[in-house]
């Protein structure tokens, strides 16, 4: 019961009566594809100049002004809803993704849980079909969500106004963080426009972190974004306290490789090797954890220098 309460504290999902025969629960999420007006850089500035000067958290007077024609656009994203799509809800706690709608709903579970993802296509912008395809979990072909002409079913081609329920199981090999994304006939445009999210699955008896941060590296037009935002002052600002068990969920979408780096911190690999930079490729993901002991204001970013200079950089603040 303690594990259930620890996860429920994040306010991410409803737990229904009953559960899997192996002792897991059945968890329901309600998700929709919805149109939004998205601003890649709400403060209108590139906070890094050619001499690698950085302002924290707001741009300096020498920061480059970005034209809104490049930064403000309409797109379609995944959004979390209450049961039966009655009311839109935050995709994740503010502490996980800074309250943004990109990435999509943070889907949390434990090994042994069963997930029912109720999806509705509410795309009134492009009027395109959409779907949800999940990595890292077990499912029947009817819940694959991947479109292949003449082969796939409704799960991969949910038309505007239609709904579909995906049924997934978090197996013993599902612990970790995993991508999900549109895999319908509209996949290319959807992923370029931010239609992706993350599953975060704990081991059966694993402790939930005190802080869980979502970091998705993805290109968007001329920008390199973190959670759909570019440059310091726009990208998520993550907060922790000394003593917190911190977990970073890191993922890449698109066609580029990235290197995740947090200043002033290290973590241990599965081979018990310390490192402070880790590579992630398209649709790859990993999680890292540490017990926070370094107060101050730190940078996190992609260490591919060109990517960082085009927006892939943010702030991490640790208080005492």
Query: Could you give the CA distance from residue 109 to residue 194 in angstroms, rounded to a whole number?
Result: 23
* Span 48-75, pLDDT tens digits: 653 344 444 444 445 678 889 999 999 9
Burial class (CB in 10 A: 0-12, 13-18, 19+), 72: middle
CATH of residue 92's domain is: 2.60.40.420
* Span 145-155, pLDDT tens digits: 999 999 999 99
101: domain range? 2-319
Query: Could you give the CA distance from residue 241 to residue 244 in angstroms, rounded to a whole number?
Result: 6
Residue 2 pLDDT > 60: no
Residue with the bigger pLDDT between 18 and 276: it is: 276
* Span 95-107, pLDDT tens digits: 898 999 999 999 9
Contact 293, 265 (CB under 8 A): no
User: Residue for token digits 């990109």?
Assistant: 102
Residue 210 pLDDT > 90: yes
* Span 265-301, pLDDT tens digits: 999 988 889 999 999 999 999 999 999 999 999 999 9
Q: How confident is the model at residue 8 (pLDDT cuts 50, 70, 90)?
A: very low
Residue with the bigger pLDDT between 5 and 137: it is: 137
pLDDT value, residue 62: 54
pLDDT value, residue 269: 84
Contact 317, 241 (CB under 8 A): no
For 250, residues 6+ apart whose C-beta sits below 8 A from its C-beta are 177, 215, 216, 217, 260, 278, 280, 285, 286, 287, 288
The 10 Å CB-count burial string (b at 16+, else e) for 185-222 is bbbeebbebbbbbbbbbbeeeeebbbbbbbbbbbbbee
Split into its structural domains, the chain has a count of: 1
pLDDT value, residue 58: 45
Q: What is the mean pLDDT of the chain?
A: 89
Residue 18 pLDDT > 80: no
Residue 29 pLDDT > 70: yes
């Amino acid at each position: 019961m303690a594990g259930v309460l620890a996860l429920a504290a994040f306010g991410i999902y409803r737990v229904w009566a009953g559960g899997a025969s192996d002792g897991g629960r059945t968890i329901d999420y309600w998700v929709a594809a919805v149109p939004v007006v998205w601003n890649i850089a709400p403060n209108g500035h590139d906070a890094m100049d050619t001499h690698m000067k950085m302002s924290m958290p707001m741009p300096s007077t020498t920061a480059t002004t970005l034209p809104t024609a490049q930064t403000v656009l309409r797109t379609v994203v995944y959004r979390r809803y209450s049961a039966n799509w009655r009311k839109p809800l935050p995709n994740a706690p503010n502490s996980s993704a800074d309250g943004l709608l990109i990435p999509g709903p943070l889907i949390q579970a434990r090994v042994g849980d069963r997930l029912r993802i109720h999806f509705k296509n509410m795309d009134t912008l492009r009027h395109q079909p959409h779907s949800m395809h999940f990595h890292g979990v077990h499912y029947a072909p009817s819940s694959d969500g991947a479109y292949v002409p003449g082969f796939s079913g409704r799960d991969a081609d949910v038309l505007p106004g239609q709904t579909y329920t995906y049924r997934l199981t978090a197996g013993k090999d599902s612990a970790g963080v995993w991508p999900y994304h549109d895999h319908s006939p509209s996949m290319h445009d959807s992923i370029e426009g931010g239609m992706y999210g993350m599953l975060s699955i704990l081991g059966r008896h694993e402790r939930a972190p005190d802080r869980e941060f979502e970091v998705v590296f993805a290109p968007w037009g001329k920008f390199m974004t973190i959670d759909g935002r570019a440059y310091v002052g726009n990208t998520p600002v993550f907060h922790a306290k000394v003593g917190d068990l911190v977990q970073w969920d890191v993922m890449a979408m698109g066609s580029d490789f990235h290197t995740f780096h947090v200043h002033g911190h290290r973590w241990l690999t599965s081979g018990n090797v310390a490192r402070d930079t880790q590579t992630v490729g398209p649709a790859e993901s990993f999680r890292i954890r540490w017990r926070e002991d370094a107060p101050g204001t730190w940078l996190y970013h992609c260490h591919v220098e060109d990517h960082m200079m085009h927006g892939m950089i943010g702030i991490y603040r640790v208080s005492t």
